[in-house]
Amino acid sequence: MTTPRKAALITGAATGIGRAVALRLARHGLAVAVNYSRSEAEAWETAAEVEKLGVPALLCQADVADDAAVRDMVRRCQAEFGGLDVLVNNAGVGGPQKPLGEITAEEWDATVNINLRAVFFCMRYAVPALRAAKGNIVNVASILGLGGRGTGASLYCASKAGVVNLTRDIAIELAPDIRVNCVCPGAVDTEMLQELGRALGQGRPRIGVRGKLWRPAMPS
* Domains located in the chain, CATH noted: 7-188 (3.40.50.720)
Answer yes or no: 156 catalytic. yes
The answer to whether the Cα torsion of 36, 18, 131, 67 is positive or negative is negative
Which among 63, 156, 159, 167 is annotated as catalytic? 156
Provide the β-strand partners of residue 31: 7
What per-residue confidence (pLDDT) applies to 123?
98
Q: Please give the C-alpha separations between residue 203 and each of 7, 69, 193, 206, in angstroms, as whole numbers.
A: 39, 35, 10, 9
pLDDT attached to residue 51:
97
Q: What is the pLDDT of residue 3?
A: 52
Per-residue model confidence (pLDDT) at position 220: 43
Please list the rounded mean pLDDT of every run of 10 residues in the chain (220 residues): 78 94 96 94 96 96 96 97 97 90 96 97 98 98 86 90 97 98 77 55 47 45
So what's the pLDDT on residue 209?
Answer: 37
Return the pLDDT at 144.
Answer: 87
Query: Of 75, 18, 22, which Cα lies nearest the Cα of 51?
Result: 22
- Which of 47, 54, 57, 58 shows the shortest CA–CA distance to 19? 47
